[in-house]
Amino acid sequence: MSLELYDGVVSVLPFVQTSHKRVKRESNAKPPAGTLGEPVQVRIEELLTRSSAFLETDPDSQDHPRLAILWEDNLENPQLVLRELKYRAGGEQASAELERVAELKGEQLDKGVSHLIPVSVPYSGFLILGDNAIRYVDRDLTNVIIQPLDDQSTIWTCWTKVDEHRWLLADDYGKLFFLMIETSFSGVTSWRLDLVGVASKASCLVYLDAGFVFVGSHSGDSQVVHIEEEGVRVVQTFPNIAPILDFTIMDLGRGAQSGAAFEFSSGQARIVTASGAWQDGTIRSVRSGVGLEEIGTIGEIAHITDLWAVSSTGEGDVQDTLLVSFVNETRIFKFDHEAAVEEVDDFHHLELSQPTLYAANIPGRKLMQVYETGLRITDLESSMLTLEWKPPDAGAKLTAASANSARLVLVEGGHTLHVFHTATNDASPAISKTFPADSQISSVAVPDSHSNLCIVSFWQTASLAILDLDTLEVLRTESLGTPGTDIPRSVMVVNLVPNSLPTLLVAMADGTVVSYSFDSTKTTLTGIDKVLLGTEPVFFKQLPKDSHANVSNVFASCEQPSLIYSSEGRIIYSAVNSDTASRVCSFNSEAYPDAIAIATPNELKLALIGKERTVQLQTLPIHETVRCLTYEPKARAFGMGCVSRTIKDGAEVLLSSVKLADEVSFRQLDSIELPDKELVECIVATGSFETEDDSRAYGEMFVVGTSILEEAGHGEDILKGRILVYEANKEKKLREVTSIEVKGACRSLAMCDGKIVAGLVKTVVLYGLVPVSARGDHSLKLQKLAAYRTSTNPLSLAVTPATSASPAVIAVADLMKSLSILHVDSKDKASPTGYSLVEVSRHFATLWSSATTAIMENEWVVADMEGNLITLRQIQDGTGPSGYNRRLEMTGEFNLGEVVNKIVALSVTPRQSRESWSKVSNDPEQIRQLPREGPVVTPRAFVATVEGSIYMLGTINPPYLHILLTLQSVLANRVQAPGYMPWSKYRAWRTEVLEKDEPFRVVDGGMLEQALIQLGDDDLEACLKEGGLDGEKVTVQDVRRWGEELKRLC
């Protein structure tokens, strides 16, 4: 085996062969046959290797192995050299040589050759894949056969062997080809290349068997495909979000007043990534959620409007019957104890010719059904109809119903309420009430039997009412928003949180769920929260969770279903990995305990809800590279900068566009094409934007930065750029408001207190939007307000808004010169515009920056191009002109091992978690004396990498800092990493010019979690003693509890 780990060095690894010699002593025995021996390093002249392969020879041949190396010289001219490997295992140290025996260069190889494919014996030799031709060379590199690709010119990425005469090839455009050689007695004469089909762009191919191929992709989803006569059929898909070029965070809890925003682990934050490249480009929604494990399918049944599970005997908590409602009928499916299912035509006198609005078992072994034109209650023991009621108005229909074990509330015609006592057989309502015509009832909810109240929602007035069930008197009303805009569709009262007040859930027509804490004794609604789950009305179904604690879960059905439940006293909205579940109900049957029935657009099936949260993905294929992405909450849309490529006249042409997509369905709303040779570089949503034009209310805006490559007259290329401002109108269409040409490309954009910050080549510029009267009353233009000179290229900008005590701060991550901190002076009298950008601090080091963001007040994290993270702090000591030290202090160093493309902070104005902690000095003794209370870690930012990883970055709160750092250093020696790589060495800061021994003041949460899983209590207690933490009253239970807290963060 040969390994090419470094330029100009080949590592030769021998396989231990079976020995036929008698071994005299046990100590001289060789390792088992087939194991790898010690590697031997061999230097070669070929530095830049494109491909290499061993020449295939007869197994009985005694010739030395030959290694073919396809490489390029300093002028990028490809050459093929054949070297013979001579390995000597004698003595204590083995030796090896790679002697050159033949070479091929010049016109016989074009510049586009990329891969070597060894041909099997008896023909031997190599196939050389090139952009414009495929060549065959014999084993001595003397005979070359060239066959051009003609119209099939392409860029090859990988290949795999199918049999002795056929190979499967993949190109850069996702196409798969069959290559088959044609032979004669003299050897290979020609070959055929046939297009098979299209799949993800392959980084590697593995032919499995029987036409099945694994397509491993870095820029798209990996797939298992089957090659058929019609082409390629995708059998299985393995989601892949790499590479993440950009991402943003969509706060589903953006209307919350309890401060529970951006909780990824709770499902209330959705990370939306710009993933993939070219034809595999997508937008991915990454959200924490629960999984559904399908048990089986009852049948292919479409157009289901609702489901109920009931017991045919009325005994116990086990159900055996599903009532399935449709637009014009109800169907019954009955199960036996062996899970056999049968559809029945008659079931206990229920009305099956109409849709069912509500069905349930009630005390006394009775079954209740509410249908469009009436109510029926059946005694299951005697199978007799004990109550039947229909509205007095024969033409009226029932529109909503809700019940508990004691009472049933019906809504007739959308305006009349009827209350029934379920314990009696009285065929008339106990009380009725008709509401005015402008108070149409959209839904009703009845709490448990201990309550004497019901909740009614009115869609015309956008309000809720709490009614007394005895008198139907309105005890309290609550506004839900603007009438005609905010429309409630359904309500539910449920006990979600143990030992707490019931929760009132309201589903709005726009997909928002509003929740309240409902105190039935005081008839009050408190603690309002709003969470966006979809774009269509949400349909609630209660699922049992813990009967002893009287706690339930709620399944929210919409285009993106969610499970609403509680964990540690908080309500969690977790995504469910089934975007086709339109209706559900609990179905605790004898054969399938704790199951749920799910209605999809085409099927009725059973499933189990998972116990653990996992990552749920939703994909919008763009089929272009989504280079940049931003989210505008007010417009409820994403802005995207996309780049596509096409082949025109045999050359590759790049085209750019700006697109607008819906925030929930990801459906494309609008697209604007940019001119040729103009590439989109960055995009930012303006948010609350100052236009200095009060004569017109502008819609939400998006600012786009581009680069333009123009050819100068003397043959050189000139790089220019533009900044464009687009408005998203009420119809969700993009309109260009203004644009400005800039010198060089615009690589980064950010918003700063209503102004635009642009990162240009060697310059950071502050722009404002001002009206232009010459062009009309409502025209705007970009005006340059201030500028700052950087060292090279400002790739990333992080803005902290101004406060009453401090100016706005702009952190500039330079391509080569690390981080600079600027203050925005908005009252500079010396400037004609009144604005200036003043550098107050700098990191005086060479750092190839890739991204930055603020993680705390006066503290930033910076990622570099070599996979490192560094945290920098600004010290206010009064030494500089602005009161800050000119030199940024390094507070942490860590090697992530992956190049970071984007860091997004969870808050634009990060602060300490507690005011008392912000006043603590850096004295370690003072920090250790702080009480260990509150959270261990405060989440600060998400980090996305080229490899498709998303990390959460948090700050350790002061009382726990010393403990976690000490614990990490002790546990690092007890965690075995793949390849036995020392953890401290791997996570240490590492660049081409500097390599350290261990990370500095950064805790690896993944390593801590792994160690706590692997170690038992005795081992963990020994670790605490080794680190001296037992003397600080740190117990094993404390560490376990902190580990669980860290785990719940993600």
DSSP annotation string for 314-364 = --SS---EEEEE-SS-EEEEEE-TT--EEEES--TT---SS-EEEEEEETT
Tell whether 204 and 248 lie within a shared domain: no
Residues 154 and 281 in one domain: no
Question: Per-residue pLDDT for 29 more than 60?
Answer: no
Sign of CA dihedral 743, 746, 748, 752: positive
More confidently predicted of 553 and 611 = 553
Residue 258 pLDDT > 50 = no
How many domains are contained in the chain? 3
Summarize pLDDT for 530-556 with one digit per residue, the tens.
888 877 889 999 998 776 667 899 999
Which tens digit of pLDDT belongs to each residue from 511-532? 899 999 999 999 999 988 888 8
Give residue 693's pLDDT. Answer: 55
Per-residue confidence at 107, pLDDT binned at 50, 70, 90? confident
C-beta separation of 798 from 819 below 8 A: no
pLDDT of 727: 93
User: Which residue among 731, 748, 769 closes a domain?
Assistant: 769
Among 376-385, 473-482, 906-915, 953-962, which stretch is predicted with the lowest mean pLDDT?
906-915
Are residues 204 and 137 part of one domain? Answer: yes
Asked whether residue 653 is domain-assigned, the answer is: yes
Are both 203 and 254 inside the same structural domain? no
Using the predicted structure, report yes or no on whether residue 255 has a pLDDT greater than 70.
no
Average pLDDT over residues 192-198: 95
**Does some domain include residue 450?**
no
Please give the pLDDT value at position 1044.
82
Please give the residue range of the domain that contains residue 253. 244-290
DSSP 528-550: EEEEE--SS--EEEEEEEETTTT
Boundary-marking domain end, from 260, 290, 320: 290
Separation of alpha carbons 360 and 309, rounded Å: 8
CA dist., res. 744 & res. 747, Å (int): 9
DSSP string, 120-185: PTTT--EEEE-SSEEEEE-TTS--EEEEE-GGG---EEEEEE-SSSEEEEEETTSEEEEEEEEEET
Per-residue confidence (pLDDT) for residue 534, from 0 to 100: 79
Using CA of residue 839, residue 841, residue 847, residue 849, what is the dihedral sign? negative
Q: Are residues 168 and 284 in the same domain?
A: no
In a domain, 336, yes or no: no
Q: Which of 735, 769, 803 is the last residue of a domain?
A: 769
Q: What is the pLDDT of residue 931?
A: 80
| Tens-place pLDDT, residues 122-159 | 899 999 999 999 999 999 999 999 999 988 889 999 99
> Looking at residues 571-584, what average pLDDT do you find?
84
In-domain check, residue 932: no
Domain membership of residue 300 (yes or no) is: no
Clarify whether residues 125 and 223 are in a common domain: yes
678-685: strand order across its sheet: 678-685, 700-711, 717-728, 734-743
Is 188 found in the same domain as 135? Answer: yes
Q: 215 with 266, same domain?
A: no
Tell whether 893 is covered by a domain. no
Q: Closest Cα partner for 54 from 165, 156, 137, 139? A: 139
Closest CA to 906 of 939, 857, 873, 945: 939
For the cut 60, the answer to whether the pLDDT of residue 5 exceeds it is: yes
Q: Are residues 115 and 147 in the same domain?
A: yes
Phi, psi of 186 (to 5 degrees): -85, -15
Domain match, 259 and 190 both: no
Given a cut of 90, whether residue 451 has pLDDT beyond it is: no
User: Of 415, 421, 447, whose CA–CA distance to 434 is shortest?
Assistant: 415
- Number of neighbouring beta carbons within 10 Å of residue 118: 17
pLDDT at 825: 94
DSSP class of residue 16 equals: P
* Strand, coil or helix: 253: coil
pLDDT at position 963 over 50: yes
Mean pLDDT of the chain: 89
In a domain, 307, yes or no: no
For residue 327, being part of any structural domain is answered with: no
| 232 and 249 co-located in one domain | no
Of the two residues 690 and 1048, the one the predictor is more confident about is: 1048
Would the pLDDT of 259 be above 70? no
Tens digits of residue pLDDT in 364-414: 999 999 999 999 999 999 989 999 999 988 889 999 999 998 999 999 999
Strand 570-576 relative to strand 282-299: parallel, antiparallel, unpaired?
parallel
The confidence score (pLDDT) of residue 250 equals 84
The percentage of the chain sitting over the pLDDT mark of 90, rounded to a whole number, equals: 65
CATH number, position 216: 2.130.10.10
User: Same domain for 182 and 105?
Assistant: yes
The single residue listed with the structure tokens 């609630």 is 540
What the block records as the tokens of 1025 is 């003693």
